[in-house]
């Protein structure tokens, strides 16, 4: 079957290890099933894997991808939840110390077929296209958990989303607006700030700009470049939720500000199967849909990853096998 996979690890030149070519079809063990992939979305996780974060050289070749929507062996349209918990684990899958994402220990979704535990299949609502549904299990689920589980914000409260047009950030804008939050965003470029406003943000500011008032929570996926601004933008007792570090992961902590203002710094990774279902219900009632920058054939996976690496995107890249 055709797949986009990591053949080797290269931190300096990650795409040098990418191959789009033939791989063996999956042979699922008991309790697992094979899904015929109709659409798969790209994430920064794919680039991190090619750089060797979460994926060791000895695990290659490894098919990339954590997101997919497709058809199960019974003909049901499904969304794949990409968090694979260990055998016998119960409760929040993201807290399982032995959990992994697809493409870390198990072959990923950027292929014509993917093998997953049957419990990881979620029915796809008929009102979502395969392309829209494929965007949800990583970036959109991450944003949902950050907003409504970790930050625990309520309608009318103000959330700052750093880096307005990334995958998680664009999802946070749409989901926050759908839930009645006041959503503020930052971006380096005017065109992306305008795009964020079109998605439902209430206000957009230049990166690092002083805000009119402090916010209840910050959605932080950028890392070093925005960390200082994120901390300074929070009201006393506010929460910064972190799920990424695209510009680096070791900013000055500014602990004096953290303890004096009693700020909460909370990590967040992916989300549960139940949260994925809850998020789709919110999309159904609100009419919101994932923002898709482009849809490409699987054979052009390199083009999509290059665009993501260059930050030349507004929304998600979706591949069709």
Percentage with pLDDT > 70 across the chain: 100
Looking at the DSSP bridge assignments, the partners of residue 43 are none
Element (H, E) at 83: strand 83-84
Q: What is the pLDDT of residues 20-31, one digit of tens each?
A: 999 999 999 999
**Does 218 score more than 90 pLDDT?**
yes
Q: Specify the pTM.
A: 0.93
* pLDDT attached to residue 88: 86
CATH 3.40.50.720 fits 139-267, yes or no: yes
Q: Where in the chain is the domain with CATH 3.90.180.10?
A: 2-135+290-320
What stretches of the chain show up as alpha helix (H) in DSSP? 44-51, 130-134, 141-145, 167-178, 190-199, 224-233, 255-260, 273-286, 301-309
User: Residue 229, CB half-sphere, CA atoms under 13 Å: how many?
Assistant: 22
Residue with tokens 């959503």: 183
Domain with CATH 3.40.50.720 in the chain: 139-267
CA 155 from chain centre, in angstroms, equals 23
Mean pLDDT of the chain: 94
Fold designation for 2-135+290-320:
Quinone Oxidoreductase; Chain A, domain 1 (3.90.180)
**pLDDT-wise least confident of 98-112, 188-202, 207-221:** 188-202
Quick: pLDDT tens for 59-98.
999 999 999 999 999 999 999 999 999 988 988 999 999 9
Phi/psi region, residue 281 (left: phi>0; alpha: psi -120 to 50; beta: rest), is: alpha
Q: What's the DSSP call for residue 54?
A: S
Distance of CA 97 to the CA centre of its chain: 20
pLDDT-based confidence at 163, cuts 50/70/90?
confident
pLDDT 10s digits, 254-284: 899 999 999 999 999 999 999 999 999 999 9
For residue 26, the 8-state DSSP code is P
Task: Give the separation between CA 282 and CA 66, rounded to whole angstroms.
Answer: 22
- pLDDT tens column, 228-249: 999 999 999 999 999 988 777 8
pLDDT score of 169: 87
């Amino acid at each position: 079957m055709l797949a986009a996979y990591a053949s080797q690890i290269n931190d300096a030149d990650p795409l040098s290890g990418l191959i789009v070519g033939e791989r063996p079809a999956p042979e699922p063990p008991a309790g697992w099933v094979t899904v015929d992939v109709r659409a798969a979305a790209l994430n920064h996780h794919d680039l991190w894997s090619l750089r060797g974060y979460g994926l060791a050289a000895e695990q290659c070749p490894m098919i990339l991808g954590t997101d997919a929507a497709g058809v199960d062996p019974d003909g049901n349209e499904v969304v794949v939840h990409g968090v694979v918990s260990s055998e016998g684990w119960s409760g929040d899958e993201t807290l399982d110390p032995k959990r992994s994402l697809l493409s870390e220990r198990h072959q990923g979704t950027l292929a014509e077929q993917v093998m997953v535990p049957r419990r990881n299949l979620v029915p796809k609502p008929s009102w979502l296209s395969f392309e829209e549904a494929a965007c949800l299990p990583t970036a959109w689920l991450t944003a949902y958990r950050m907003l409504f589980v970790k930050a625990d914000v309520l309608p009318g409260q103000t959330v700052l989303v750093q880096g307005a047009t990334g995958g998680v950030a664009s999802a946070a804008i749409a989901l926050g607006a759908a839930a009645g939050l006041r959503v503020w965003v930052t971006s380096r470029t005017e065109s992306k700030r305008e795009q964020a406003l079109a998605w439902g943000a209430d206000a957009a500011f230049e990166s690092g700009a002083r805000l009119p008032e402090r916010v209840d929570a910050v959605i932080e996926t950028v890392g070093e470049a925005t960390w200082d601004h994120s901390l300074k933008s929070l009201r006393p007792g506010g929460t910064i939720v972190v799920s990424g570090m695209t510009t680096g992961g070791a900013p000055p902590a500014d602990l004096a500000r953290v303890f004096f203002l009693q700020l909460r710094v909370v990590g967040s990774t992916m989300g549960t199967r139940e949260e994925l279902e809850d998020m789709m219900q919110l999309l159904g009632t609100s009419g919101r849909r994932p923002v898709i920058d482009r849809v490409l054939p699987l054979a052009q996976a390199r083009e999509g990853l290059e665009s993501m690496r260059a930050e030349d995107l507004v929304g998600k890249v979706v591949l069709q096998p």
